[in-house]
Structure formats: structure tokens, C-alpha cells
Structure 1
């Protein structure tokens, strides 16, 4: 079980539990909604946490921490299993804290590689300790404990474990070497310098909906599902402009892509045989429903004007 921690302060982008909840629960990404510990109003857990923070006179600028508990893909943990895991871990590691557990399964990095997303838990822990009235602190001993406890719980469930900090055989704390690839362990300045590489224009890539992973895979001659869908949409749009009677669903079906309607009215695209679907707006701004309809409408109008003026489309 991988345990990652993010700290939120009054000086960071998310300055309150309310602001962070907007990210955790947006677009229906929270599977089954949030469940809580030491909270009265479950539906407005974030507002209750912010009121608690205001009530205590805490030193420093830390307002809360978020722990991400992520199992190995081989464990095939379900969202409900991850919720039970998170609450047990929370009750043992932060029993006197207000906390919320939100389950996600939308891992952009894995989905970008065409792999199945993993159900994982986001555990938001409010800063005040309700018993002492002081701020919850994380020293080395506590960090080791919450990491090692997650590994013990994983073993109890028959899941994969990460290396533990405490060596029971030797009775001492061991140094754990990061399992991240050397590429990811480089100094931040080197990674930022690479992002500034003129071969990869981050602003243009963002507008086109292309991730860094997609860019690197494209250089290696490999294609992501999003790349295939984006290319299919471009071809279908041109085909529909040339043939006004053609529907988008039919044009995409010819290319092995099905269309569904998203809750917000946007379109979702799924390649045949795949379990992954992508909203048009996440593939690229120009592939959202409104943008697509507008581009097709304008293209057909331009083609009609050319024909009425006596010029063929190919002229």
C-alpha cells in the first residue's frame, strides 16, 4: 500500500477544507460520496472542519493534511474495500481528528497509458487534535508508524506490501530507498528544465489536450487511446462537413468509436473493446460538444458558400 501525504496551508492554493473539497468531489468523481470520522454533518464535512479550525487558536499556517492510500494493481481492491481500509487506518493513526474519506478511481497517469485506473482513497485530516486542542504534528516516528501500519493492514488482507521503516529482526529503523524511477528522482530544477524544452510546448499541448506522457509515447511511435479518438474526431469532422447528412455517431462508429452523453451534457468517447471513456473537453477544448458542433456548422456553411459561388470544395 502506497501512502502519500500532502500538506495544506493558508499560504497554499487550497486554503481551507471547503476549497479542497471542491477538488475532491467535483464532477461526481467521489465514488459513493464522502464518509467521515468525528463529524456531525456528513454532507458538509468541509464546513464543519473549517469552523473547528476557526474555533482553535493554532500556531502556524497548516490547516490540514491529505493522505492518499493506493493499493497495487494486482490487489484489485474495490472502492468499498478501500473505504473500509481507509477508515480502519484512520481510526488507528488519527483517532482524535476530524477526517473525511473520498474514494477516486480516475488515475490520469494510468489512463493516459491506456491502463485500468486503480480505486484509491483520499483521506483529508483536519489540523486540530480534538482531545488536546493543539495541532496534529507529524514527526519521524509518527510518519513511520502510519506508513508501516498501512503495510500491516495490507498483509492482513492478503494485499501487496511496501518495504517497512522498522526492521523487526534487527530492532532498528531502516532507510528505505525510493522505488521511483531514476528519471522521476532527478532534482526538481532538472525536471523543470526538461519541461521548458522547446520540442514540447506545454501551453500548446494543454490547449490540444495532450499530456506529457502522450507526447513522449508519440515520440516512440506509440499511440494512446485519447490520441486515436482525437485523430478520429478530426477525420469525422471533415467527413461530416463534406456530407451534411452524416451524423457524428455514425462517422465515429465507422472508426470504431462509440459516443455516450456525459452528465454535464458533454460527449464521452470510447474505443471499441476498451473500458476507458474520455469526455470531449478532456481530449481537447476543440472537442467538447459545443466546440465540435460549432466547427462542423461553420465548416458546412463555408462549403455551401463555395458551392453557391460556383467553386467546388476542392478548388
Structure 2
């Protein structure tokens, strides 16, 4: 599921910062709704609020919400920069669908950014949207209800739009992105800070090293079995599930056990088999399982 987040812009300083961000030259693409001149979108929204009295609080003692900043963050697996179907153009069309369905009478501007995760070196697309508070048809301030209810309503609407576009749904308790699977957990970050190598990092390092060695040095033959043997010498037990759908690694001593697909691309059964130079195609997993059984 594409993630949707919203922040209310309740100060002139915040509004100015958002305006600069949405005008940033790093934006890949830009589109708008009910805006005559995109170069002056910020001034147009301000003029609309002023005309309807929405640059002042709606009631005594309340803060003024000038506009809303929403972010649609796409699943990295589904972004074209990682081989998915969501190209920059499709991401913008998706955002347009969202704005037109949810805020048809609101002035809005949305821009596409390619965001980088420093933790695991992956990229994804995200659309940032500025939505003006004033409803052009009713003259009222946009109000989606209390915070939690509105948050749930937006999540449900995003889920429906994902279904329309054929995008994956998030599953509770599951990793929803293989591209992001290598991102370190809080515990792993704390271990790094103490100078201790986390289990997953250790397993990745040894698997990557041994796969490279075998593909370069070992003769054709039972390469999967050779990999298991070399990893065992490193203190890592490797096993392949029946049918060859999953490879598991268990580190001796700590007892830590993890599936290859949770370690990132290249560590699934298919990724390892390809790295070892085994046959390609749909039979990769089955071939690897058969090698382990010999």
C-alpha cells in the first residue's frame, strides 16, 4: 500500500517553508488543480484564503490552519527506479486521482521527488501535495473530522486507490518492501554504535563473500551444497525449504535465524542461485533445493 501522511500548516513560517520546498528545483515533475499560474501558486492560495477570511482563526483562541501538506510515499518495490511499474508519470497521475477524488474543490499543487534512504541506500518516489484550506464551492474551511478518524479515512481511501491501480496492499506484521529489507532495525543501529556487528550484517557479509568465491573459483557441480559447507565453516547454517521457495540462515552462537528474502535483493533463493551461476528461469529455486538434498 502507498503510505499517506498529512501535516497541518499552522504558522506563516511553516507555510513559507512548505512553499520553498514545493518550489525546489529538485522536484522531478509538477502539476496543480485550480491554479492559474503555477509559478505563483503560493500567492494565489494566500489570496483565496484572504478573500474568504481564512487567514485568521475560525474561532477565538484557536490557531490558524492555512493549508495541509500531504505526502504519498510509494512502495519502493513498485517504483520504476527499482524495476516496478510506477514511473514518475504514473506517480503523478496517481496523485492527480487522489486529489481530484478527495479534494475536488480545493486549490492544490503536487510535486514528485525521488527520495533516498541513507540507512540502506535505496530510492523511491514520493509526491508532496500542498492543499489550500478554502473550499472554492462552499467557501468553507476544509474539515475532514477529528484527527484519528480523518487519518483512518485517508488510509482507507488510499487502500481503495491502490486497488484501483493494482498496487500491493500492506500486511500487518510483514515486511512490505523487499528493496527496503536491508534497512537496519533500531537494535542493529545501537549495535553499530557500540562497534558490534549485527547478525544480519554478519550473515550478509559472509554470504556475499562466499557466493563470489564459489562463482569465481568452484568448478561446475553442486555449488549450493558448496556454499552451505563454506558458510558452516563461518558459523552459519544454511537450509533450503522443500520446493525451493525459501532459504534460511542461522548464526551459531546467537541462534539468530532469518530468511534470505529479509536480507535484501540477492539473498533470496533465486538471487543466490543466480549469483552462483546456476540455471536461470523458473527452475532456480527447485534446482537449488535439489542440490541441497543430494
> Which TM-score applies when normalising by structure 2?
0.52
Question: What's the counterpart of residue 271 of structure 1?
Answer: none
Q: Is residue 103 of structure 2 the alignment partner of residue 102 of structure 1? A: no
Deviation at 1:113, TM superposition (A): 2.3
Deviation at 1:220, TM superposition (A): 4.2
Which ranges of structure 2 fall in alignment gaps of 5 or more residues? 80-85, 176-185, 199-294
Question: What's the counterpart of residue 35 of structure 2?
Answer: 39
Of 130, 139, 149, the match for 1:133 = 139
Question: What's the counterpart of residue 124 of structure 1?
Answer: 130
Deviation at 1:23, TM superposition (A): 1.9
* Cα separation, partners in 2 of 1:53 and 1:19, compared to 1, 3 Å: farther
CA RMSD of aligned residues (A): 3.0
Question: What's the counterpart of residue 22 of structure 2?
Answer: 24
Distance in 2 (alpha carbons) for counterparts of 1:2 and 1:62: 23
Deviation at 1:63, TM superposition (A): 0.4
The answer on whether the counterparts of 2:114 and 2:123 sit within 8 Å (CA) in structure 1 is yes
The answer on whether the counterparts of 2:109 and 2:131 sit within 8 Å (CA) in structure 1 is yes
SS at match of 1:139: coil
SS at match of 2:158: helix
Question: What's the counterpart of residue 75 of structure 1?
Answer: 78
User: What are the residue-to-residue correspondences of 1:165-204 with 2, within 5 Å?
Assistant: none
Deviations 1:254-277 (A, max 9, x none): xxxxxxxxxxxxxxxxxxxxxxxx
* Cα separation, partners in 2 of 1:20 and 1:147, compared to 1, 3 Å: same
Which ranges of structure 1 fall in alignment gaps of 5 or more residues? 164-176, 181-193, 195-212, 223-315
> Which TM-score applies when normalising by structure 1?
0.48
Deviation at 1:3, TM superposition (A): 0.7
Q: May I ask how many residue pairs the two structures share in their alignment?
A: 171
User: What are the residue-to-residue correspondences of 1:109-258 with 2, within 5 Å?
Assistant: 110-114=117-121, 116-140=122-146, 142-162=150-170, 217=192, 219-221=195-197
